[in-house]
Amino acid sequence: MKGTVYQRWMKPEGGDSECKHKWSPEVKKAQHCEACGAQRVRADTWTLQHEVTRNGKRAFVTDTFRTKSEAQAALTESLALHAKGEQIEPSKLTVAVFLRDW
């Protein structure tokens, strides 16, 4: 069991709001949409994510932090707790759905 710490993508800035923004591998390098010129923007927060098994089903634990080191420390802690089989209070977990725009 392992996890990741990453910055989510925010809604692209500028460009055509009707555009679906197809981020091909080449476009991802350029960091803007080829069709409308919208800039890709990283969230200024860090998100941790790791997989857990709950009631025999796969689930993901996610939480958001201000800094990468905070997120990494929390990830290590969360992985250790889950490895011991302890349940983490649901209230301690924040599902960062509000940052997900696609």
User: Which parts of 1-102 are beta strand (E)?
Assistant: 3-6, 9-13, 39-42, 46-54, 57-65
Stretch that binds Zn ion, among 36-44, 60-68, 74-82, 91-99 (CB under 5 A): 36-44
Integer-rounded Cα Rg, in Å, for the chain is: 17
Tell the residue number behind the tokens 């994510």, with chain if given.
49
30 binds Zn ion (CB under 5 A): no
Quick one: 35 or 93, whose CB is closer to Zn ion? 35
35 binds Zn ion (CB under 5 A): yes
**Footprint of Zn ion on this chain (CB under 5 A)?**
15, 19, 21, 33, 35-36, 38
